[in-house]
């Protein structure tokens, strides 16, 4: 049997064990009660069985099917389909991330080409890089005055650093002999940048892009919990306030799957630009 | 008329740690005629590659000038094709793509089809027509170096500079590519400057062999004229009576005499003497001619 098939089977087995354990853990429990308790429970219209706050796998499955069968409904700002929420989050991440690409990759190129610029900008980068993107939030809200745009800004600021640093490194580490080839062929600067340096540095640049998209997807959830209104992060917080843990767990799953898909997308790009020396 | 390439009193010096200057080589002067194949032979560390880089325009000398075809060499130019020691192919391009990259640099106004056809012709010349779509990683060491040679020839430079192009190849592959290079040069009358430390390779390929003394402060100590007539054949050249005279002369130089030039009081010619050990009368002349030269 092929190893990948074995791995897949083992994955399924692990999933089954997990779901089984989950099922057992959330089974309704019989508890010993006094007669007074019995009376009280009847008074409250409850049966003898106590239901756990955590969803059972069956209820979870039911929720997944219900949510996915109608992902794009809109019944007021407090009740939107998961697809609508995701679309809001992806739009923010997409905009912030794209702006970060447009800013970081050209700047990284310049920093990588010029040791002078690298020396001048490095202290700023080193100080700004470790700042939690959410720490920018108050400043963003105050200056931008729009919560949704502030979310985009936070995505921008957290995506910028890995791309900037990786692009600068990739560009500065282009093999000297390839540059010498370009020199002896009298290749013009613009052509050298696009035909030699860019493809040579592309694997490093895309690695930076991959790190960035991961961070952006981590940060958007927290950012949307803060700014509220729309998005998957807001959805999680809203369902917590509704005490609907089933929906919270569902949202967690969706966040994971979408994050994985985003990583796959950049991973595919990475495979396209990677070369073997 | 002056020679096609003139190198005059070239020197390279670096600031030494603790003040002063370290001289890698100095007083390097030689000439290469049009269509000549010249090899530079010497031990590692004597600055051979630096000299080649200066000729290519990739490095600047501390002193001296290089004049090619009546014009001073000040930077890299498409008039000089370079084959790098480590082949230096762009790994994300195919074999054809690598050659085409050079061709497009040389003739930017050409159409795609013209560039392709021209590049193909040079890949065929080195016997790689069937591998044009392979990337460098899919090619063997010998094939990679062939692509490098095709790339350098394809821009039809006035002069070709080869930096130990076969150093990393096994002996069999090396022999085959040497043969190819010999034939291509005979056909195109290409002017070539090549670095090697393989004595047999130098005798097979070159018209003139420049011998460099050991560094630091290396000099071109001698110019050996290769008097074995062309065409030369790798399989029969060692039967030529001149072959071992020249070979012994070169090996003697590399083993014994290359280090003597550094000692104080040694004669350090600014114009290296031209010797023709192949024409020395008698059986293998050992180093008698050398003694004669000194006095």
| pLDDT tens, position by position, A24-57 | 988 887 655 566 666 666 666 555 455 557 889 9
The model's pLDDT over A100-114, given as tens digits with 9 standing for 90+, comes to 999 999 999 999 999
Contacts with A184 from chain B: Cβ below 8 Å? 56-58, 76-78, 80-82
Residue of chain A with shortest Cα separation from B90: A178
The residue among B273, B223, B254, B251 whose CA lies nearest residue B38 is B223
Q: Quick check: B224 and B246 in contact, CB under 8 A?
A: yes
* Distance separating alpha carbons of residues A193 and A179, to the nearest angstrom: 10
What pLDDT does residue A51 have? 54
**Which of B105, B136, B137 is facing A185, going by the closest CB pair?**
B105
Residues of A with CB under 8 A from a CB of B: 175, 177-178, 180-181, 183-187, 191, 195-196, 199-200, 202, 273, 275-277
Which chain A residue is nearest to residue B92, measuring alpha carbons?
A275
SS (H, E, C) chain A: CCHHHHHHHHHHHHHHHHHHHHHHHCCCECCCCCHHHHHHHHHCCCCCCECCCCCCHHHHHHHHHHHHHCCCCECCCCCECHHHHHHHHHHHHHHHHHHHHHHHHHHHHHHHHCHHHHHHHHHHHHHHCCCCHHHHHHHHHHHHCCHHHHHHHHHHHHHHHHHHHHHHHHHHCCCHHHHHHHHHCCCCHHHHHHHHHHHHHHHHHHHHHHHHHHHHHHHHHHHHHHHCCCCHHHHHHHHHHCCCHHHHHHHHHHHHHHHHHHHHHHHHHHHHHCCCC
Which residue is closest to A187 within chain B, CA to CA? B105
Are A184 and B76 an interchain contact pair (Cβ–Cβ within 8 Å)?
Answer: yes
Give the residues across from A80 on adjacent strands. Answer: A74
Q: Answer whether B91 touches A (CB < 8 Å).
A: yes
Nearest CA-CA partner of B58 in A173, A178, A201? A178
String of DSSP letters for B144-205: HHHHHHHHHHHT--SEEEEESTTTTS-HHHHHHHHHHHHHHHHHHT-EEEEEES-HHHHHHH
At B55 the three-state DSSP class reads: helix
pLDDT of residue A49: 52
Q: How does B123-151 read in b/e, with b if 16+ C-beta sit within 10 Å?
A: bebbebeebbebbbeebeebbbbbbbbbb
The secondary structure element, H or E, covering residue B225 is: strand B220-225
pLDDT per position as a tens digit, A139-162 = 999 999 998 899 999 999 999 999
The pLDDT of residue A223: 94
Arch. (CATH architecture) of A58-273:
Orthogonal Bundle (1.10)
Q: Measured at the alpha carbon of residue B184, what is the angle toward residues B142 and A188, in degrees to the nearest 5?
A: 75
Nearest to B182 by CA among B120, B232, B237: B232
Question: CATH number for the B5-79+161-169+193-294 domain, one of 3.40.50.620, 3.40.50.150, 3.40.250.10, 3.40.50.300?
Answer: 3.40.50.300
Cβ B21 vs Cβ B47: under 8 Å: no
**Largest pairwise CA distance in chain B:** 62
Identify the DSSP state of B257.
G
Can you tell me the distance from the alpha carbon of B101 to that of B113, in angstroms, rounded to the nearest whole number? 13
pLDDT of residue B187: 87
CB atoms closer than 10 angstroms to residue A23: 13
DSSP lists the bridge partners of residue B161 as B82, B193
Per-residue model confidence (pLDDT) at position B291: 42
Distance of CA B67 to the CA centre of its chain: 17
Give the number of other CB atoms < 10 A from CB of residue A65: 9
CB count within 10 Å of CB B112 equals: 9
Q: Chain A within 8 Å of B168 (Cβ-Cβ)?
A: no
Low-confidence ranges of chain B (pLDDT < 70): 1, 264-265, 281-295
The answer to whether B101 contacts A183, with C-beta atoms less than 8 Å apart, is no
- pTM score: 0.85
Backbone CA torsion sign across B136, B137, B142, B145: positive
The H-or-E segment that residue B54 falls in is: helix B48-56
**pLDDT tens track for A176-199:** 999 999 999 999 999 999 999 999
Residue A220's DSSP bridge partners are none
Q: List, as one string, the DSSP characters of B12-46.
A: EEEEPTTSSEEEEEEEEEEEE-TT-EEEEE--TTS
Segment A112-138 shows an average pLDDT of 94
Running DSSP on this structure, what letter comes out for residue B273? P
Q: What percent of chain A has pLDDT over 90?
A: 74
**Quick check: B76 and A187 CB within 8 A?**
no
Q: Is ipTM > 0.90 here?
A: no
C-alpha distances (whole Å) from A14 to each of A11, A238, A253 are: 5, 31, 17
Q: Confirm if A81 and A74 have CB atoms less than 8 A apart.
A: yes
Instruction: Report the half-sphere exposure of A267 (CA within 13 A, side-chain side).
Output: 7
d(CA A225, CA A44): 35
Among B229, B255, B257, B223, which Cα is nearest to B242's? B229
> How do beta strands B63-68 and B71-72 pair?
antiparallel
Please, what is the end-to-end C-alpha distance for chain A in angstroms?
34
Chain A interface mutation, best of B76, B138, B151, highest count of A Cβ atoms under 10 Å: B76
The answer, yes or no, to whether residue A273 has pLDDT greater than 90, is yes
CA B153, B159, B163, B165: dihedral to nearest 10 degrees? 30
Contact A195 B155 (CB under 8 A): no
Measured at the alpha carbon of residue A80, what is the angle toward residues A76 and A85, in degrees to the nearest 5? 130
Cis amide prior to A129 (ω within 30 degrees): no
| End-to-end Cα distance, chain B | 32
Other CB atoms within a 10 A radius of the CB of residue B271 amount to 10
Strands B191-196 and B159-163: parallel
| Among the ranges given (A26-35, A67-76, A213-222, B120-129), the one the predictor scored with the smallest mean pLDDT | A26-35
By residue count, chain B amounts to: 295
Q: Which residues contact residue B124 at a Cβ distance below 8 angstroms, ignoring those fewer than 6 apart?
A: none
| Residues B199, B201, B205: CA angle, nearest 5 degrees | 125
pLDDT of residue A156: 96
Please name the residue of chain B whose CA is at the shortest distance from the CA of residue A192.
Answer: B105
Q: What is the DSSP letter of B280?
A: -
């Amino acid at each position: 049997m092929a190893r990948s098939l074995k791995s897949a089977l083992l994955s399924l087995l692990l999933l089954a064990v997990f779901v089984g354990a989950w099922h057992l853990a959330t089974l309704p429990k019989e508890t010993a009660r006094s007669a007074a308790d019995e009376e009280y429970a009847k008074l409250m219209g409850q049966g003898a069985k106590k239901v756990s706050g955590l969803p059972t796998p069956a209820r979870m499955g039911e929720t997944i099917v219900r949510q996915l069968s109608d992902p794009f409904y809109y019944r007021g700002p407090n009740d939107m389909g998961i697809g609508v929420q995701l679309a809001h989050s992806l739009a923010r991440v997409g905009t912030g991330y794209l702006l970060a690409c447009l800013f970081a990759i050209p700047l990284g190129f310049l920093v990588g080409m010029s040791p002078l610029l690298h020396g001048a900008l490095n202290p700023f980068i080193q100080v700004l890089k470790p700042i939690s993107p959410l720490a920018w939030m108050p400043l963003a809200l105050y200056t931008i005055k729009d919560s949704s745009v502030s979310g985009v800004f936070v995505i921008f600021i957290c995506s910028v650093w890995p791309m900037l640093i990786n692009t600068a490194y990739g560009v500065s580490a282009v093999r000297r002999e390839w540059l010498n080839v370009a020199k002896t062929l009298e290749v013009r600067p613009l052509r050298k940048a696009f035909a030699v340096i860019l493809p040579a540095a592309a694997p490093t640049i895309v690695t930076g892009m991959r790190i960035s998209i991961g961070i952006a997807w981590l940060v958007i959830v927290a950012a949307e919990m803060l700014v509220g209104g729309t998005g998957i992060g807001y959805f999680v917080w809203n369902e917590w306030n509704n005490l609907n843990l089933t929906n919270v767990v569902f949202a967690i799953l969706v966040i994971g799957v979408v994050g994985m898909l985003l990583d796959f997308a950049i991973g595919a790009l990475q495979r396209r630009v990677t070369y073997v020396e | 008329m002056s020679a096609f390439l003139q190198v005059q009193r070239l020197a390279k010096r670096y600031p030494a740690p603790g003040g002063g200057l370290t001289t890698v080589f100095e007083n390097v002067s030689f000439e290469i005629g049009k269509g000549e194949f010249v090899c530079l032979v010497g031990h590692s560390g004597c600055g051979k590659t630096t000299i080649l880089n200066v000729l290519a325009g990739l490095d600047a000398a501390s002193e001296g000038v290089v004049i090619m075809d009546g014009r001073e060499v000040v930077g890299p130019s498409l008039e000089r094709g370079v084959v790098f020691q480590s082949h230096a192919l762009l790994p994300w391009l195919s074999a054809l793509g690598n050659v085409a990259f050079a061709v497009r640099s040389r003739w930017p106004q050409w159409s795609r089809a013209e560039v392709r056809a021209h590049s193909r012709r040079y890949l065929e010349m080195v016997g790689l027509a069937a591998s044009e779509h392979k990337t460098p990683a899919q090619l063997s060491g010998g094939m990679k170096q062939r692509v490098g040679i095709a790339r350098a020839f394809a821009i039809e430079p006035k002069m070709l500079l080869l930096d130990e192009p076969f150093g990393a190849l096994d002996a069999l592959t090396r022999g085959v590519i040497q043969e190819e290079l010999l034939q291509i040069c005979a056909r195109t009358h290409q002017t070539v400057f090549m670095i090697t430390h393989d004595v047999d390779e130098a005798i097979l390929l070159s018209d003139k062999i420049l011998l460099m003394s050991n560094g630091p402060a290396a000099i071109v100590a001698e110019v050996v004229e290769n008097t074995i007539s062309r065409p030369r054949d790798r399989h029969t050249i060692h039967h030529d009576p001149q072959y071992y005279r020249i070979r012994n002369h070169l090996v003697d130089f590399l083993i014994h005499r290359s280090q003597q030039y550094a000692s104080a009081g040694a004669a350090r010619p600014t114009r290296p003497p031209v010797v023709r050990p192949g024409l020395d009368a008698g059986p293998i002349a050992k180093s008698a001619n050398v003694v004669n030269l000194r006095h």
